Structure formats: C-alpha cells, structure tokens
Amino acid sequence: MKVVILKDAAAVAAYGADIFSKQLKQKPNSVLGLATGSTPVALYKALIARNQNGDVSFANAHSFNLDEYLGLADDHPQSYRHFMNVNLFDHVDIDKTNTHVPPGNAKDPRAACEQYERDITDAGGIDIQLLGIGRNGHIGFNEPSSSLASRTRIKTLTKETIADNSRFFSADEYQPQLSITMGIGTILESKKTVLLATGEAKAEAIKATVEGPLTAACPASALQLHPDAVIIIDEAAASQLSDTDFYKHIETENQKLGQLLGR
C-alpha cells in the first residue's frame, strides 16, 4: 500500500488525475473503474481540462462505476448515472455506450448484479479503480460487515451513510436505502486501485484503512491485500496516522526511484 500525503484537496485531485492520465496514455483502451461522491469531482474536472486541451483521450476507453442507488432510473437527478454524465461523460470524448453503471431500475436486480460481473470480465477486467471512502470505512457501498470476498450485489445502506448522503436529496424527495455495489472481491481484482480522501472527517477511516487490522469492520482495510493500492490524502485526512513523516519520506524516495527509472 502506497500512502501519498499532500497539502490540500487540490493537490490530491491533481495527483490522482496524473495517475489516470498516465494510464490512458499507456493504454488508450483502458478499462476504468470510476466512483461518485464529492471527492472525485475535482479529479474529473482536471481530466476534463486535459481532454479538452488534447492531452489525454477517452475515445477508446471503457468504464465501470462502483455503485448505484437501487430504485432510481438512469435519468433521475440523484442517480449515479446522471452524476457521471454531468461530471465527466458529457465533457470528454468517451463513447457512452462503453460506460457502465449498475442499473438501479433493473427489473431483476440480482440477475443484473451477476450480469455486471460478467460484463467486467468480458471487458478484460478493470485496469484502474478509483475509490472514495466513507466515514465508516466503506468503499463503494460495501458497508461495515461486508464480506472481503463479496461480488457485485444488493446492499442495505447504514443509517450513517443515509444521513451523510441526505444532503443530496430534498426533504420531500425519496432517498433510497438500498444500492447495487461492486463487491470488495470485485474491487480487489482490479489491477490498480486509487483511493482519494480529504478532510478531517475521513481521518479515522484512513487510519483504520492504512494502520488498522484487516477487518470487515473497516471494508477499506481490504486494500492492504491489494498488490498495487495507492492512498492519496491531504494533511487533514492524514492527521490520525501514527507517523506521517515516514509516509512522506517513502513517497519522496519513490519519486526519486521513478525519475531514475524514467517513469
């Protein structure tokens, strides 16, 4: 697990955008795993700017999103399909037929989950998976107690997650309490994972992810098992880590090694 501690949220987004840009340049037909939520938006804005400047292209890329609310149609303003269209897909040269979000309004959600897994496999697997993290350590909608071997499935959201997401829904608007989410096992099969976290509210979850035990109580701790997991955080999100100087030293040395190897 590589831990990168940066000054602020803008630096976190730029660092993440660099990783995704490099991936697309090295493999233009990459399969991207994407995420919703507040933290990825700045990264998407950076990628949009690079795409519009001609620096990077999504023309041959495919994408699979982590999750979707169960019961919302694609065009619902709170659906994650709508979120992705507004915050990324509408502004870059990606073919929307190559973008995939779990179908929240599927007639048979369980069958849709199984199909989503097959679609990922048929695409060759996810090359790079973007992740956020909840205050309770969830990744995707894999809430605490989720199996570390879980696959795409229906999940009940915790009261904490529902409360955290309530700001996106008006008082008289239906807020789903179920979701379809990639499983932790699905996420761990991606070739590379990139988790972004900013703000002091995420500090406890980040400490549990990086320095805590591997446990279903903190689903993100499963990333300790991944051979190429990058955790990119700002100073506030890093505030509960035991030795931030150590992580910063490692990143400095990694940068020197990358220059030496011409990466």
Looking up residue 211, the CATH number of its domain turns out to be 3.40.50.1360
pLDDT at 259: 78
Q: Residues with catalytic annotation? A: 67, 136, 138, 143
**DSSP class of residue 215?**
-
- Beta strands across the sheet bearing 128-131: 2-6, 229-234, 193-197, 128-131, 31-34, 62-65, 99-100
Q: What is the pLDDT of residue 263?
A: 63
Give, for 43, the enclosing helix (H) or strand (E): helix 38-52
Spatial contact of 157 and 143, defined as CB atoms under 8 Å apart? yes
Distance of CA 94 to the CA centre of its chain: 18
Task: Note the pTM of the prediction, 2 decimals.
Answer: 0.93
Please provide residue 32's backbone torsions phi and psi, each rounded to the nearest 5 degrees: -100, 130
Structure tokens, 13: 């987004």
Domain limits at 125? Answer: 2-260
Contact predicate 139/216, CB 8 Å: no
Contacts of 41 by beta carbon, 8 Å cutoff, 6+ apart: 87
Total number of domains in the chain: 1
Q: Which residues of the chain carry a pLDDT beneath 70?
A: 262-263
